[in-house]
Structure 1
Amino acid sequence: MKQIKTVIFDMDGTALNDAKQMDALLIQYRKEIKAADVRLIVASGRLEHMVYNYMDELEIDTPIIGCNGATITYRNQKTPLFAARLPQNELHQIIAKIEELGEIFHIFTLQGLVGLEKVGRLAYYSDTNESKTIEQQVPIFIGSEYLNTEFLKDAVKLLLVTDNLEHFESIRAYAQKLGLDAVQSGDNLLDIMAKGVNKGAAITELSNRGIIDLETTLVFGDNFNDIEMLQAAKYPIVMENAEAAIKKHAFAICPTNEKSGVGQYVLSALGIPFKEQ
């Protein structure tokens, strides 16, 4: 393995434990990692605002890959480095399909999180905003008045939340028929983005811009929306808690997210002594 200069990690199920807490070893040894001249980069299905509190814990200000690769941003910069917006006609068609089936959906835009009701992610982030700094708070817009073309012109991802497997597959097939990409990101979560949008394309974009070198980058993931990112990396590391289909893409398997698996692997690769959590 070449000398590692960059570590890119997914959040849920990877760098976060099941209680949504950041990998304790990454936090504890953040200064040692920085002293080794290694950058930590988040690659998440979340909006950039949703990872600010974790970045504060790690004391990093690196690029943020958000919305499954639909955005690449720098914190506090108004203009994204990269943004792949959903085509408006197809977006409104998929919204109509989901409403017809009576399912919950959230729309991720460059301005914030949009939905019809305070349920699901909207409820979670609305409640957790109360304990965050103003900068860390996720902008939330609730109501049908926000489902207009003008407000959704900067939409980059639609998230379907459903426990109905038949509806899940029906909406996935419909999105794909419309020429959109649809990928499972959790047990009951379907992420819908513009064609060709994924985390693998995003880290390739960073490489093409000279921001990272894929030859010296460790990439960590655990779910289906991480596959392209794992395929694009020279050193794809998969969590022990991932499904077998994801592990097929691994250069190596690290301990689970509950055991600070990312931190354990990174510190071992860098030769930094540590105490296991």
Structure 2
Amino acid sequence: MKLLATDMDGTFLRDDKSYSEEFNDLYKQMLKQGIQFVIASGNQYEALVCKFDDDIKDDLYYLCENGTKIVYRGDVIYKHCLETDDYQHALNILKEDEECMLVVSGVKHAYILKKFEDRKDFITLFIKNIVFVDSFDEIDDEILKFSVANFDGKIEDRLEVIKKRINPKFRVVTTGNVWFDIFYKTINKGTSLQHLLDLLGISNEEAGAFGDQMNDYEMLQTVKYGYAMANAMPPVKEVAYQVIDSNENDGVILKIKEILKGNY
């Protein structure tokens, strides 16, 4: 094994957003064995890098925003942005539902309407670099993707409505219990992980990945060792090399221990 990539929420992180203190020691062992550790998340770089200690965070690669951007040591080494017409088409559809919170994710910042500022405590669990705007027309940025937070439990209904209306070049996928993302079908965690593997000269057979949601689906298929959490969605489990313990039971940590012993 030369590379391990992990999703964060529902996978590496427990439900309270913490992770095992054992990780720091395990990370040192991974380095000794030549294993690169990669964070692959739908979340923003700024919300990911702050999770790790100073002596670790800059050695990790971050596949952010569902693979639309890769960051290493603070530098963007890959990005795939929306075309202007595609962006405007999707925005016009998504902003119609005023009950949901729409997040427009740009290269420079994430943008949210000011009327949702009272939900800042919730928002900052996932997004750190935020600009609140009166209108999305104020945005001057390259756009990577959209995220929608659904607070009334009707996420599946909204997914179906949007899928029927939006341009088929977009993918609409759950990224958590209340979140779903909209981005190009041709770009996902799997395609960006493949880009990173090629960049590092690591084969798919030498790599593993952990995930639980549908935005992890392609990533688990990209590598030989795709590990689905016990709490993963059924389709994710179906394509996995192995189903491991849940995020609450530190399934990723337990599996890393096995991998370090050669038990893939």
Please report the TM-score for the alignment, with normalisation by the length of structure 1.
0.84
CA contact (8 A) 1:200 1:229 kept: yes
Match of 1:159 among 147, 150, 160: 147
Task: In structure 1, list runs of 5 or more residues that go unmatched.
Answer: 130-136, 273-277
How far apart are 1:182 and its partner, in Å?
1.8
More divergent stretch after superposition (84-93 vs 254-263): 84-93
Can you list the C-alpha shifts for 1:60-108, whole angstroms capped at 9, x where unaligned?
422210111111111322xx21111112222222222222221320011
- Residue identity over aligned pairs, in percent, reads 23
Q: Quick one: distance in 2 between partners of 1:174 and 1:248?
A: 28
Task: In structure 2, list runs of 5 or more residues that go unmatched.
Answer: none
How far apart are 1:146 and its partner, in Å?
4.9
Q: Quick one: distance in 1 between partners of 2:37 and 2:16?
A: 21
* 2:81 corresponds to 1:85: yes
* 2:231 corresponds to 1:233: no
Residue in 2 aligned with 1:215?
Answer: 205
Q: Quick one: distance in 1 between partners of 2:118 and 2:222?
A: 29
Amino acid at match of 1:173: K
Q: Quick one: distance in 1 between partners of 2:120 and 2:15?
A: 18
Amino acid at match of 1:18: D
Please report the TM-score for the alignment, with normalisation by the length of structure 2.
0.87
CA contact (8 A) 2:45 2:64 kept: yes
Q: Quick one: distance in 2 between partners of 1:23 and 1:211?
A: 30
How far apart are 1:178 and its partner, in Å?
5.1
Q: Quick one: distance in 2 between partners of 1:158 and 1:218?
A: 27
Q: Quick one: distance in 2 between partners of 1:24 and 1:120?
A: 33
Q: Quick one: distance in 2 between partners of 1:196 and 1:249?
A: 19
Q: Quick one: distance in 2 between partners of 1:219 and 1:202?
A: 13
Amino acid at match of 2:94: I
Residue in 2 aligned with 1:172?
Answer: 163
Measured on the aligned residues, the alpha-carbon RMSD in Å equals: 2.5
Residues 33, 139 of structure 1: alpha-carbon distance in 2 compared, 3 angstrom cutoff: same
How far apart are 1:25 and its partner, in Å?
3.1
Residue in 2 aligned with 1:189?
Answer: 179
Residue in 2 aligned with 1:65?
Answer: 63
Runs of 4+ in 1 over 6 A off after TM superposition: none
Q: Quick one: distance in 2 between partners of 1:83 and 1:158?
A: 15
How far apart are 1:126 and its partner, in Å?
6.5
Q: Quick one: distance in 1 between partners of 2:55 and 2:12?
A: 11
Q: How does 1:15-164 map to 2 (within 5 A)?
A: 15-56=12-53, 59-60=56-57, 61-77=59-75, 80-102=76-98, 103-117=100-114, 119=116, 123-124=120-121, 138-148=128-138, 151-152=140-141, 154-162=142-150, 163-164=153-154
CA contact (8 A) 1:219 1:236 kept: yes
CA contact (8 A) 1:14 1:262 kept: yes
Match of 1:250 among 240, 245, 254: 240
Amino acid at match of 1:174: R
